[in-house]
A = this chain, B = another copy of it.
């Protein structure tokens, strides 16, 4: 009996460790989401203090990645998880890599914001950055929700938003090229806008990666590099 109790206790502790790691991922995700929102706000409003703060906060994002990574390695070594527990740990290791890179993109946008402070503000108040920023933040938020609830259907739905974001990005790019051709004095400013929307577009890609890890985690199938149709099929199989 005592052994069983110990066994039960160890297992509960293990569950708590996995739960703790999941919570840390969500915390890191929340921080990264805030970083994107702040970076976009700093750029749109020309707020260099906020931009500096985003750049400074990227250390926190990096620190969380290293800490969670370390925790995962220790769980693998101590607990030697199998099946779905193992998949959870691997999915976390991959997810935090993407979250860290989303953080890098937020930092890039903040740096573009600092550049743009010294230039003439456009009449549209960087509407394209604001708009794409909102789409991307929404997508990341829903991605983290899908991760928190281990919701495969949601993960598939959300990963499809990436196409919409790519489409919006392509539109902005065409517009910027037109601006530059019409008035070469706008080239430098337009390039900074281009870097910023490209960073946002890449955040969409990273969110999609995370959605795919959620599907892998729940279904044990690798759905990367496959079409949406294949993804749907994969999760419908029993």
Contacts and interface: CB of A to CB of B under 8 A. Distances in A.
Contacts of A69: 222
A222 B86 contact: no
A73 B86 contact: yes
Q: How large is the interface on A (under 10, 10 to 19, 20 to 34, 35 or more residues)?
A: 20 to 34
Contacts of A63: 225
A10 interface: no
Interface stretch (A23-31, A129-137, A156-164, A177-185): A177-185
A206 to B, nearest CB: 11
Given A187-B180, A225-B62, A73 B87 contact: yes
Contacts of A66: 222, 224-225
A188 interface: yes
* A interface SS class: helix
Interface string A183-201: 0100110010000000000
A59 B63 CA distance: 34
A139 to B, nearest CB: 19
A116 to B, nearest CB: 15
A60 to B, nearest CB: 11
Contacts of A181: 184, 187
Contacts of A87: 73
Contacts of A4: none
A83 interface: yes
A97 B90 CA distance: 12
A185 to B, nearest CB: 8
Contacts of A191: 177
What are the 6 closest A-B residue pairs judged by CB atoms, nearest first? Answer: A80-B80, A62-B225, A184-B184, A181-B184, A180-B187, A66-B222
Contacts of A82: 77
A70 interface: yes
B177 A70 contact: no
Contacts of A188: 177
A93 interface: yes
A190 to B, nearest CB: 9
B93 A86 contact: no
